[in-house]
Amino acid sequence: DAKTTQPPSMDCAEGRAANLPCNHSTISGNEYVYWYRQIHSQGPQYIIHGLKNNETNEMASLIITEDRKSSTLILPHATLRDTAVYYCIVRVASGGSNYKLTFGKGTLLTVNP
Amino acid sequence: DARVTQTPRDKVTEMGQEVTMRCQPILGHNTVFWYRQTMMQGLELLAYFRNRAPLDDSGMPKDRFSAEMPDATLATLKIQPSEPRDSAVYFCASGFTYTGELFFGEGSRLTVL
């Protein structure tokens, strides 16, 4: 699986958009970008994923650059409950042992009042 | 809401004792993952199953850890004998083969004295 690089921490003001970057310069053509988050003391939670098109759901938007070497997760109106560690992961869509999701250290997003 | 259920939530034991953690995946999911989380190492993949068959357990210390799925509604992770370095939160997750959306349980916190 391609390696990802994320900043260790970020701050955001409540009500503002939080933009979390991720670099995945070695991503392969068949690898998707996944985002998960982990709120303190809870299990990780799926947020969104995409291949090359931008994606949006009720939680967030995912912007993937045209060359697919980086992406940005956007929380449009961050709340205090969005304070968590955010993980960016790349993974192939299918294929035997490559189903696994490998978590890095992620970005600790702190939303401030 | 369907959820992954893990037991026990908390376990304190003494070194050398056997520990069994259990996981009930979401009904219908065909993949099950076991992760371990510590402050030092973060989230580590221990093993995972597809359709109850083990696909990859390379992350697991083979001499003391074992993972099984006796049926589609139960996954177990056993440590025998336990050691203080096994102290961690163990997460179980389930999902479908064709998607990287995993649903995590609340974790089992293990403390080995």
pLDDT reading at B3 higher than 90: yes
Average confidence score pLDDT of chain B: 94
Distance CA B8, CA B76 (A): 11
Distance CA A101, CA A97 (A): 10
Nearest to A99 among B55, B105, B107 (CB): B55
pLDDT at A96: 57
Nearest to A43 among B55, B91, B101 (CB): B91
The dihedrals phi and psi of A52, each to the nearest 5 degrees, come to -145, -20
Distance CA A51, CA A90 (A): 10
* Contact B98/A at CB under 8 A: yes
Question: A68 pLDDT band (50/70/90 cuts)?
Answer: very high
Q: How far is CA A22 from CA A32, A44, A74, B3, in A?
A: 13, 18, 11, 29
pLDDT at A101: 85
Report the run of H or E that residue A86 belongs to, with start and end.
strand A84-92
The answer to whether A100 contacts B33, with C-beta atoms less than 8 Å apart, is yes
Nearest to B97 among A43, A46, A94 (CB): A94
| Geometric angle at alpha carbon B36, from A84 and B79, rounded to 5° | 155
Question: A95 pLDDT band (50/70/90 cuts)?
Answer: low
Average pLDDT over residues A81-94: 88
* Residue of A110, A104, A109, A108 whose CA lies nearest to A24: A104
pLDDT at B58: 85
Q: Pairing state of beta strands A55-56 and B108-112?
A: unpaired
Q: Which of residues 15-54 of B touch A (CB under 8 A)?
A: 31, 33, 35, 42-43, 45, 48, 50
* Contact A104/B at CB under 8 A: yes
pLDDT reading at A1 higher than 80: no
Question: A93 pLDDT band (50/70/90 cuts)?
Answer: low
The answer to whether A46 contacts B45, with C-beta atoms less than 8 Å apart, is no
Task: Mutation target for B interface from A1, A90, A99, A102: give the one with most B CBs within 10 A.
Answer: A99
pLDDT reading at A30 higher than 60: yes
List CB contacts (< 8 A) between A38 and chain B: 43
pLDDT at B98: 76
Distance CA B47, CA B67 (A): 7
A4/chain B closest Cα distance in angstroms: 15
Question: A102 pLDDT band (50/70/90 cuts)?
Answer: confident
B73-113 confidence digits (pLDDT tens): 999 999 999 999 999 999 999 998 777 789 999 999 999 99
Average pLDDT over residues B42-59: 90
CA nearest A90 in B: which residue? Answer: B100
